[in-house]
Amino acid sequence: MFIGEAPGFNEDKQGRPFVGAAGQFLEGLLSAGGLRREQVYIANVVKCRPPNNRDPLPTEIAACKPWLDQQMEMLRPRVVVTLGRFSMARWFPGQSISRIHGRPEERDGLTVVPMFHPAAALHQQALKATITEDFRRLPKLLEQLRQVDTASQPAPSDSDPAAAAEPRPEQLSLF
């Protein structure tokens, strides 16, 4: 699951997250990380576009929290990639994105990977290589988590057909 900050102009018009210039860059970043958009779920901390595309206010983030919580509850992601400081602050309050980007940490039973927002590279070209490198590390992280999940799963019992029918971790997408 990838979590950005808020819909922009194009996202607001289309009702989908990350469809503008930052979304096009995100798709390239996903590709650099060995992923396709169809394999991940993308959400935002704030569900409505703030006026004049300003940063979301703490009250707006708090008001939208139940919807993000419900999305996470329904999806039960194993990995959350935060895109930018507003989504990062949920798990890393008071931290600086420039200090902790790309470093996965276990938080609230999730592996949370803070990353720069793709739009940051559109405004500061110097960040493009950093953001791309962070995304290139995702396949290794996902593989490590798959191995841990697989190793911790008990083998299904032959006498329990329901357990044998449940999907194994290696059959599930981590996002």
The pair phi, psi for residue 159, each rounded to 5°, is -85, -5
Q: List beta partners, residue 106.
A: 111
| pLDDT at residue number 19 | 93
Averaged pLDDT of the chain: 88
| CB-CB neighbours of 105 under 10 Å | 12
Average pLDDT over residues 100-115: 95
| pLDDT at residue number 160 | 54
| pLDDT at residue number 172 | 38
The answer to whether 36 and 114 have CB atoms below 8 angstroms apart is no
Please state which of the ranges 50-54, 109-113, 131-135, 166-170 shows the lowest mean pLDDT.
166-170
Structural domains for the chain: 2-171 (3.40.470.10)
SS3 content of the chain, % helix, strand, coil (to 5): 55, 10, 35
DSSP 112-156: EEEE--HHHHHH-GGGHHHHHHHHHTHHHHHHHHHHHHHHHSPPP
Confidence of residue 159 (pLDDT cuts 50, 70, 90): low
| pLDDT at residue number 117 | 96
Average pLDDT over residues 66-90: 96
pLDDT at 173 exceeding the cut of 70: no
pLDDT at 108 exceeding the cut of 70: yes
